[in-house]
Amino acid sequence: MTVELAPPPPGRSAAADRAETRRRRVPYLLLAPGLVWLFIFYVIPLFQLLRMALTTGNLQAGYVFDWVWENFTQVFTTYQPQLLRSLVFALATTMITLLIAYPLAYAIAFRGGRYQSLFLLLLLMPLLFPFLMRTLAWRIILADQGVVVQTLQNIGLLPSNGRLLATGWAVVAGLVYNFLPFMALPIYVSLEKIDNRLIEAANDLYSTPFTAFRKVTLPLSMPGVISGSLLTMIPAAGDYVNVELLGNPQQAMMGNVVQNKFLNIIDYPAAAAISFTLMVAIVILVLVYVRSVGTEDLVA
Amino acid sequence: MDTRTDIPAVELDGVTKEFADFTAVYELNLAIGENTFFALLGPSGCGKTTTLRMIGGFEDPTTGVIRLHGEDVTGQKPYQRPVNTVFQSYALFPHLTIFENVAFGLRRRGVEDAEVKRRVNEMLELVQLTPFIKRKPKQLSGGQQQRVALARALVNHPRVLLLDEPLGALDLKLRKEMQIELKRIQQEVGITFIHVTHDQEEAMTMADVIAVMHQGRIERMGEPTEIYEDPRTAFVAGFLGASNMMSVTVVDRGSGAVALNGGTRLHIDPSKLDGGDGTVRVGVRPEKLRIYPIDEVSLPPNVLQGTVTDASFIGVSTHYLVEADHIGEIAVVAQNLDDHHHRPGDPVKVGWLPQHCFVVA
């Protein structure tokens, strides 16, 4: 920058200073409502949740804050299977949903032609029906006398007395079904944005269609894959409805434990500790996933 | 051009491209010689980009054959052809660095790492982008992106380079610089460039051979001076620079004497009258005309009389509009060689030589 030779006239400088201060304040003023909202409805409850997790007592006698770490330790002892199952089911759901949703989104984006909007509408249509209804419908689809089970038994993939309902498969199937639109939509959006000339350029530079997909289309659609995965993985890890309707207590996930503690046993401290642990576990899972998929090379 | 090699670098033989509702290219025959800077020039929708895309393999011709150095490549995919393309608006890979963008083609062909590094660096030096090697395309200016696109194609040593309006997105000054730069690079690497453009000045600055396309056909093909001086069709005359057109009646085919509507005699090169019927359309370029005071006596064979309606001083030249008897307004570009500045309203004479007239179909 240039050297300042003389101080600016004092009157103007003060006005300019005030304008400058005001300008600097604007972003914070604009952020303020959101920050207040977040503080009241997120930070404070989160703090209360953590505090509750460290208390002891019951609803009748009242709760006493006493640094009770046992609530946390039991998550890793008593509820370790449920915690692991939550993470495994969430990961499996994400992977299977991704495998189904990517080709689906690809087909709509590149082969949909003038029917693109219609296909998108069809994709979103199930969301117009209540979540519970849709999940209950899967009980009929996967029923012991249903078409799916019969077919699998006939071709020998399932023993003659085997069943799908009340197994982990049914739970994951339900989760996959319920989260498919949330995976497919972001992927569709990122694929749809890709300029066809980039694919042509890759073909021009000696890429077969498959190499062009691997080196250009796939990397450019990663933002969609990541947001879709997060929209699937996070709610799937905390889900309890699918186990409730399609599984049995043997497939209980963390969500079921929390639900039980909160609503049936009314053990708030344990429920809070489990919720908090589950939250941390999901954050770690997400970080590992995003890292392994790799975002550094991506453009927004 | 035939003298350079027997086998043309690119040959189109009766190529037609039909889309669902129109024919983009009609029965095109074209041979482009080795080491030629070839320009496909025409207005939008004339079929020039479709022609380029068929050479690149992005479109298949409905009928006809495309040969590269004598080899039939019709139906081959883009990645199977020894041809590379500089795309309109560049189509650089946004997720890759400049280095990886340029290395893309080499890597796909399995060139080993050290060789990739050497060739990419060499190419980036040629287009003066070495400092930007680690950046992403979005971080470069339009002109720099353009040079990356060029480097990405040229690094593969294609036998033919296709350029689809490569300078269209650049501002005027940069475009002029890149025109000279492209021509220099073409001469340096010595391969055939096929350049699609709608800018006649750009085509004339760079190309050895220009083909002017109109409605799916090539209307005129030749060296820039040749097709400028003798455009042969009204479309080419109008598309390549300005011209004054007039209808004349042939009076004596042997001497090239023709007459305007009002009876004024003009003379044109008799060889250009071949096949000309009773009435023909002739044209003359504004810069071939000279403007004289009304009382001037030493005049060329073709003279019209008129009144100046507009005079604009450009610096290197003055542009006049003269309302001439029987033909209406004609444009004259006069070099500022003498002190004769004619003002609107001045009666003047406009004269030119017979050989500067061309006849259009």
pLDDT(A295) > 60 = no
The answer to whether A273 touches A72, Cβ cutoff 8 Å, is yes
Domain boundary among B208, B235, B262: B235
Question: What is the domain-level CATH number for residue A204?
Answer: 1.10.3720.10
Percent of chain B topping pLDDT 90: 66
Residue-level pLDDT at A43: 94
Residue A100 lies in a domain: yes
Number of domains in chain B: 2
Task: Give the integer Cα–Cα distance in Å for A148 and A157.
Answer: 11
Residue B115 — φ and ψ, nearest 5°?
-70, -40
The answer to whether A116 touches A255, Cβ cutoff 8 Å, is no
Regarding beta strands B279-284 and B357-360, do their DSSP bridges make them parallel or antiparallel, or are they unpaired?
Answer: antiparallel
Across A192-223, b (16+ Cβ under 10 Å) vs e yields bebeebbbbbbbbbbbeeebbbebbbebbbbb
Residue-level pLDDT at A11: 57
Sheet of strand B279-284, all strands in order from the earlier edge strand to the far edge: B265-267, B257-259, B244-252, B279-284, B357-360
Task: Give the integer Cα–Cα distance in Å for A248 and A167.
Answer: 7
Which residues in chain A have Cβ-Cβ distances shorter than 8 Å to B135? none
Do B258 and B349 sit in the same domain of this protein?
A: yes
Which residues in chain A have Cβ-Cβ distances shorter than 8 Å to B165? none
Residue A204 lies in a domain: yes
Residue A105 lies in a domain: yes
Q: What is the mean pLDDT of chain A?
A: 88
Do B21 and B159 sit in the same domain of this protein?
A: yes
Helix boundaries (H) for chain B: 48-56, 98-108, 113-126, 142-154, 172-189, 200-206, 224-229, 234-239
Angle in degrees, 0-180, between the axes of helices A168-192 and A116-124, rounded to the nearest 10: 150
Q: Which amino acid is at B118?
A: R
Closest in A200, A206, A207 to B91, CB measured: A200
The predicted model gives B150-162 an average pLDDT of 94
The predicted model gives B136-158 an average pLDDT of 93
Q: Which amino acid is at B237?
A: A
Across B109-134, b (16+ Cβ under 10 Å) vs e yields eebeeeebeebbbebbebbebeebee
Task: Give the integer Cα–Cα distance in Å for B218 and B348.
Answer: 40
- Residue-number span of the structural domain to which B134 is assigned: 10-235
Do B298 and B229 sit in the same domain of this protein?
A: no
Interface touch A206/B87, C-beta < 8 Å: no
Q: Does A68 contact B at CB distance below 8 Å?
A: no
Residue B4 lies in a domain: no
Residue A44 lies in a domain: no
DSSP string, chain A: -PPP-SPPPHHHHHHHHHHHHHHHHHHHHHHHHHHHHHIIIIIHHHHHHHHHHTEEEETTTEEEE---THHHHHHHHTTHHHHHHHHHHHHHHHHHHHHHHHHHHHIIIII-GGGHHHHHHHHHGGGGS-HHHHHHHHHHHT-TTSHHHHHHHHTTSS-TT--STTSHHHHHHHHHHHHHHHHHHHHHHHHHTS-HHHHHHHHHTT--HHHHIIIIIHHHHHHHHHHHHHHHHHHHHH--HHHHHHS-GGG--HHHHHHIIIIII--HHHHHHHHHHHHHHHHHHHHHHHHHH--TT---
Domain boundary among B235, B252, B284: B235
In this predicted model, what pLDDT tens digit does every residue of B249-258 receive, in sequence order?
Answer: 888 888 888 8
The answer to whether B307 touches B323, Cβ cutoff 8 Å, is yes
Do B262 and B130 sit in the same domain of this protein?
A: no
Residue-level pLDDT at B2: 44
Which residues in chain A have Cβ-Cβ distances shorter than 8 Å to B78? 200, 203-204
Residue-level pLDDT at B3: 46
Residue B5 lies in a domain: no
Which of B59, B83, B88, B104 to mutate to probe the A interface, most A CBs <10 Å? B104
Q: Does A214 contact B at CB distance below 8 Å?
A: no
The predicted model gives A265-277 an average pLDDT of 89
pLDDT(A13) > 80 = no
In this predicted model, what pLDDT tens digit does every residue of A203-254 receive, in sequence order?
Answer: 999 999 999 999 999 999 998 999 999 999 999 998 999 998 998 888 889 8
The answer to whether B230 touches B219, Cβ cutoff 8 Å, is no
pLDDT(A299) > 90 = no
Do B285 and B197 sit in the same domain of this protein?
A: no
Closest in B84, B91, B136 to A195, CB measured: B91
H helix count then E strand count, chain B:
8, 20
Q: Does B343 contact A at CB distance below 8 Å?
A: no
Q: Does B134 contact A at CB distance below 8 Å?
A: no
Residue-level pLDDT at A2: 47
Name residues 6-45 of chain A within 8 A of B (Cβ).
Answer: none
pLDDT(B207) > 60 = yes
Rounded to a whole number of angstroms, the distance from the CA of B95 to the nearest CA of chain A is: 6
ipTM of the complex: 0.83
The pTM for the full model equals 0.81
Residue A188 lies in a domain: yes
Residues 6+ away with beta carbon under 8 Å from B240 = B41, B200, B204, B212, B227, B228, B231
Question: Does residue B67 sit in helix, strand or coil?
Answer: strand
CB pairs under 8 A between A and B: 67
Regarding beta strands B71-72 and B63-68, do their DSSP bridges make them parallel or antiparallel, or are they unpaired?
Answer: antiparallel
Residue-level pLDDT at B348: 92
What confidence category does residue A157 fall into, taking pLDDT thresholds of 50, 70 and 90? confident
Do B89 and B199 sit in the same domain of this protein?
A: yes
Residue A29 lies in a domain: no
In this predicted model, what pLDDT tens digit does every residue of B218-251 receive, in sequence order?
Answer: 999 999 999 999 999 989 998 988 899 988 888 8
Residue B218 — φ and ψ, nearest 5°?
-90, 120
Which residues in chain B have Cβ-Cβ distances shorter than 8 Å to A216? 93, 95
Q: Does B79 contact A at CB distance below 8 Å?
A: yes
Which residues in chain A have Cβ-Cβ distances shorter than 8 Å to B88? 197
Do B337 and B307 sit in the same domain of this protein?
A: yes
Do B49 and B177 sit in the same domain of this protein?
A: yes
Interface touch A206/B79, C-beta < 8 Å: yes
The answer to whether B308 touches B317, Cβ cutoff 8 Å, is no
Determine the distance from the C-alpha atom of residue B283 to the mean position of all C-alpha atoms in its chain, rounded to a whole number: 20
Rounded to a whole number of angstroms, the distance from the CA of B23 to the nearest CA of chain A is: 22
Residue A165 lies in a domain: yes
Number of domains in chain A: 1
Q: Does B78 contact A at CB distance below 8 Å?
A: yes
- Residue-number span of the structural domain to which A238 is assigned: 92-253
The predicted model gives A86-92 an average pLDDT of 93
Interface touch A205/B108, C-beta < 8 Å: yes
Question: What is the domain-level CATH number for residue B139?
Answer: 3.40.50.300
Percent of chain A topping pLDDT 90: 47
Q: Which tokens belong to B338?
A: 């003498």
Which residues in chain A have Cβ-Cβ distances shorter than 8 Å to B94? 198, 220, 299
Residues 6+ away with beta carbon under 8 Å from A292 = none
pLDDT(A297) > 60 = no
Q: What is the mean pLDDT of chain B?
A: 90
Domain boundary among B213, B235, B257: B235
Do B294 and B207 sit in the same domain of this protein?
A: no
Residue-level pLDDT at B52: 95
Closest chain B residue by Cα to residue A208: B79
Closest in B78, B89, B92 to A204, CB measured: B78
Residue B1 lies in a domain: no
Phi-psi region of A220 (alpha: psi -120 to 50; beta: other; left: phi over 0): alpha
Residue A299 lies in a domain: no
Do B223 and B266 sit in the same domain of this protein?
A: no
Residues 6+ away with beta carbon under 8 Å from A267 = A58, A261
Residue A235 — φ and ψ, nearest 5°?
-65, -30
Residue B248 lies in a domain: yes
The answer to whether B266 touches B353, Cβ cutoff 8 Å, is no
Do B229 and B178 sit in the same domain of this protein?
A: yes
Task: Quickly tell me which residue has 């101080």 as its tokens.
Answer: A7
Q: Does A291 contact B at CB distance below 8 Å?
A: no
Which of B60, B89, B108, B152 to mutate to probe the A interface, most A CBs <10 Å? B108
Interface touch B84/A204, C-beta < 8 Å: yes
Do B207 and B316 sit in the same domain of this protein?
A: no
Which residues in chain B have Cβ-Cβ distances shorter than 8 Å to A220? 94-95
Closest in A197, A207, A299 to B108, CB measured: A207
Interface touch B104/A197, C-beta < 8 Å: no
Most confident of A17-21, A150-154, A248-252, B115-119: B115-119
Interface touch B58/A200, C-beta < 8 Å: yes
Longest dimension (CA), chain A: 94
Regarding beta strands B37-41 and B209-214, do their DSSP bridges make them parallel or antiparallel, or are they unpaired?
Answer: parallel
Residue-level pLDDT at B350: 92
Which of B53, B79, B84 to mutate to probe the A interface, most A CBs <10 Å? B79
Q: Does A193 contact B at CB distance below 8 Å?
A: no
Q: Which tokens belong to B194?
A: 């096929």
Q: Does B195 contact A at CB distance below 8 Å?
A: no
Closest in A208, A297, A299 to B79, CB measured: A208
pLDDT(B4) > 60 = no
The predicted model gives B71-86 an average pLDDT of 94
Which residues in chain A have Cβ-Cβ distances shorter than 8 Å to B156? 205-206
Residue-level pLDDT at A182: 95
Residue-level pLDDT at A98: 96
pLDDT(B342) > 70 = yes
Interface touch A201/B87, C-beta < 8 Å: yes
Longest dimension (CA), chain B: 78
Q: Does B85 contact A at CB distance below 8 Å?
A: yes
Task: Give the integer Cα–Cα distance in Å for B20 and B1.
Answer: 36
Interface touch B95/A202, C-beta < 8 Å: no
